[in-house]
Amino acid sequence: MSPAGSFAPAASRSADLLVVGSMLSDVGLVRSINEDSVTFVVPAEGKDPENRSGILLVADGMGGHSAGEVASALAAEVVRRCFFELNGAVPDILATAFAVANKAIFDYGQSHPECAGMGTTCTALAIRSDKIWLGHVGDSRAYLLRNGELRQLSEDQTLVAKMVREGTMTPAEARTSEHNNIILQALGTAPEVNPDIWDDGLSLAAGDILVLCTDGLHGLVDDVVIAEVAGRYAPAEACQELIRHALQAGGHDNVSVGIFRAIAPPDPTSRAARDTRRIPAMSADADGGSTDRSTRQISAFEGQR
């Protein structure tokens, strides 16, 4: 498949674009375990533009007890590793990565009875040079905010979304349907999976903003608000603000979001000023962990590739 719909022209295209951003995940106000997983690796600055790659990913696990947490963590780790360890065209790599992740989760559930039936959504944006490709299973989402217009890149694989596409349910009916939580496929719930994967990449332009999130956000926060917050704040602040909106709206699910901006490369003469950057300190408890147990800032794989 290819990017659906028409997009405003990608002005100021450049293979030297930098991608900067942040991801946050919050347990929410109702659940005791966070079954979401997120990971990202941004393209390295200074490498050959044609070989610069990155990946942005959110996964929303399900399965009871801690099984959902296991499933989403497996998806994030396997897809990330496959993307950087395999060679070839991006769509082929994504297809293999999703297939390997699906098998890893399914096999783990088969060999661990307490995790039987576990699964996870998985929405990933792969970056190579100045283009992005989507890999997607489930109902987490990826968006592009360009010139003030927010476009959903992924297609919800849910029963109500399918009914809306077929014309048997209106969008208004879908928003209040009791079947909102029925997804049509997930990684790990069956021996095989059929992910949505773009055959063609979508060109990025300076100023573009990419948003990835689980349904704990988009199910409670309107797209208009997502666009306004993502466009107004720096990525880390925007993630915090969107999670705040989700919690204010009830926070009945885990909430995860990532926001990334494509920016033009700075003037080389300013490199000296960029070599040093200030990292704000995070408050920690006696064990060195965050004093806020419910929200975590993702840093595990932020090292540039």
- Looking at residue 282, its pLDDT comes to 46
Q: Which among 87-96, 263-272, 275-284 has the top mean pLDDT?
A: 87-96
Q: Using pLDDT thresholds of 50, 70 and 90, give the confidence band for residue 291.
A: very low
The CA distances from residue 120 to 93, 147, 196, in Å, are 20, 32, 15
The CA distances from residue 299 to 121, 224, 234, in Å, are 21, 28, 17
The CA distances from residue 141 to 112, 167, 256, 290, in Å, are 29, 21, 11, 28
Residue with tokens 């773009």: 198
In angstroms, rounded to a whole number, what is the distance separating the alpha carbons of residues 193 and 36?
A: 20
Amino acid at residue number 171: P
CB atoms under 10 Å from CB of 110, counted, come to: 12
In angstroms, rounded to a whole number, what is the distance separating the alpha carbons of residues 230 and 162?
A: 28
pLDDT at 280 over 90: no
* CATH of region 18-262: 3.60.40.10
| Kind and range of the H or E run holding 105 | helix 90-111
Q: 120, 105 in Cβ contact below 8 A?
A: yes
pLDDT at 5 over 90: no
Mean pLDDT lowest for which of 199-208, 230-239, 277-286?
Answer: 277-286
- Looking at residue 179, its pLDDT comes to 81
Provide the angle, in degrees to the nearest 10, between the axes of the packed helices 67-85 and 90-111. 150
> Average pLDDT of the chain?
87
Which residues lie closer than 8 Å to 41 by C-beta, 6 or more apart? 54, 55, 80, 84, 301, 302, 303, 304, 305
> Which pLDDT tens digit goes with each residue over 222-261?
999 999 999 999 999 999 999 999 999 999 999 999 999 9
Residue with tokens 């990933």: 124
pLDDT at 66 over 50: yes
- Looking at residue 180, its pLDDT comes to 79
Domain spans in the chain, listed from the N-terminal domain onward:
18-262
3-class SS at 19?
strand
Q: Which residue has the higher pLDDT, 272 or 27?
A: 27
> Which pLDDT tens digit goes with each residue over 12-51?
556 688 999 999 999 999 999 999 999 999 998 876 767 7
Mean pLDDT, residues 278-285 taken together: 49
- Looking at residue 265, its pLDDT comes to 83
Q: Which residue has the higher pLDDT, 155 or 274?
A: 155
pLDDT at 174 over 90: no
- For the record, the structure tokens of 4 come out as 């659906």
Q: Using pLDDT thresholds of 50, 70 and 90, give the confidence band for residue 62.
A: very high
